[in-house]
Amino acid sequence: MPSPYPFLENLNWLRYHVRPSLKSLDLYPNRLPRVAQSLRAAGEANARVVFAGDLIGYYAEERPRASPDLRRTLNDADRVWINLEAPIAERRKAGRSPRTFRFKLSEEYLDELWQELALDPKKLILNLANNHIADFGEAGFRSTVEYCEKRGIALTGRAKRETLGTSAGPIAIAAASEWMNFADDPVGRSTVKWNENYLDELELRDDEHLLVFPHWGLEFRHFQAAKYRDWFRRLAQGRNLTVVGLHSHVPGPIVREAGSICFQSLGNFLGLQLSWPTRLSPLLSVDFAFRGGKCLGPTGYRMDFHYLRRHGGILAWCKVEELSPSLREKVQARLSLIYPEESRSP
């Protein structure tokens, strides 16, 4: 499979996978905590959306067990948004691990996963704007869309401007990917390409809130380079944005600029991992305020961290507090570095 990355990045990719980088921490001195309320005045109605990171599947499509806390977080939401980082290209589970970095999922596996999560598929929104959705070409992309349409699952990433429906009203969306593994593939033209001036091409009202999903940056970096920080700073000027970033497979900081907020990376939800930071599965709950059916933006947010581990031969998501003392200490230290301990409103 071709790589979209520069030559030097390809040389260092495995090193960063095994040991995700904390470089560029100093670029983000004003990081926000994992929980914040009172971001803006409440509206007439609220809707909670839960965002999860990359869904790639596990080795041999093994299904993890979900904890009651994880199920509760998902089911308390009005909608659940997940980045689908692999096409749905098979009907039945293969029962074997992939030998390449071309990923695919089966319908059977996903049906079992939604059942394990006690999640109604009609509540789901799956994102297609990423660098692996074209791994099995046009046929894989088409079967992915067909699966979602049959189960009532909404999709993002197929048009420059889309809408996420909630019980309180619609939220405008712009989902796009900086990276495309198969740039010349027809699928690469069926998903949206991110660039620095992407939002300038959209016609937005001055007060309109926009939910942005950039699949951006380099993999296995907790803190992205200065150009991504500067992108957000520029994009936030005169706009009302909530940015939820993807692609790095590890959680990233939360920052605010003017009236906009950026969750730089959600990391993995369920994927293939070689290091303990990639086993973290954050769930980001955001409460959006509405007035007269119009989205005003988030009133507050909360990030809950789960960890994908094998314990007693069973693969399951667990709370960080349930990890062994040594691993729990490492995880808590890393999270405290990314997110300040004190709970404060920005």
Q: With 90 as the cut, is the pLDDT of residue 100 above it?
A: no
β-strand pairing of 294-311 with 79-84? unpaired
Residues 96-122 have a mean pLDDT of 88
Can you tell me the distance from the alpha carbon of 83 to that of 215, in angstroms, rounded to the nearest whole number?
9
The better pLDDT of the pair 169, 60 is held by 169
**pLDDT tier, 214 (very low <50, low <70, confident <90, very high otherwise):** very high
Contact 249, 267 (CB under 8 A): yes
- The predicted-structure confidence for 39-51, as pLDDT tens digits, reads as follows 776 778 999 999 9
Q: What is the 3-state secondary structure (H, E, C) of 174-199?
A: EEEECCCCCCCCHHHHCCCECCCCHH
Domain boundaries, the chain: 7-21+37-338
Q: What is the pLDDT of residue 186?
A: 58
Closest CA to 248 of 231, 263, 259, 232: 263
pLDDT at 95 over 70: no
Between 97-101, 247-251, 268-272, the lowest mean confidence (pLDDT) is in: 97-101
pLDDT digits (tens, 9 = 90+) for 162-202: 999 999 999 999 999 998 887 655 565 667 887 778 888 88
Please report which confidence band the pLDDT of residue 2 belongs to, taking 50, 70 and 90 as the band edges. Answer: low
- Report pLDDT digits (tens) over 301-343: 999 999 999 999 999 999 999 999 999 999 999 999 999 875 4
Which neighbouring-strand residues pair with 240?
209
pTM: 0.94
Say if residue 128's pLDDT is above 60.
yes
Provide mean pLDDT across the span 227-247: 93
Angle at 37 between CA 238 and CA 225, to 5 degrees: 55
**Residue 24 dihedral angles phi and psi, to the nearest 5°:** 80, 10
**Confidence (pLDDT) at 249:** 96
- Between the CA atoms of 152, 157, 160 and 164, what dihedral angle is there, to the nearest 10 degrees? 40
Tell me which fold the domain 7-21+37-338 belongs to: Purple Acid Phosphatase; chain A, domain 2 (3.60.21)
Span between the terminal Cα atoms of the chain, in Å: 43
What pLDDT does 345 receive? 41
The answer, yes or no, to whether residue 344 has pLDDT greater than 50, is no
Burial profile 314-341: b = 16 or more Cβ within 10 angstroms, e = fewer: eebbbeeeebeeeeeeebeebbeebbee
Q: Is 12 exposed, middle or buried (0-12, 13-18, 19+ CB in 10 A)?
A: middle
Strand 45-55 relative to strand 35-36: parallel, antiparallel, unpaired? Answer: unpaired
Looking at every residue in the chain, the average pLDDT score rounds to 90
Position with higher pLDDT, 60 vs 164: 164
Yes or no: say if 249 and 268 are a contact pair by the CB < 8 Å rule: yes
Give the integer Cα–Cα distance in Å for 11 and 123.
40
Look at residues 190, 324, 303, 296 and name the one whose alpha carbon lies nearest to residue 251.
303
At residue 295, φ and ψ (nearest 5 deg) are: -75, 125
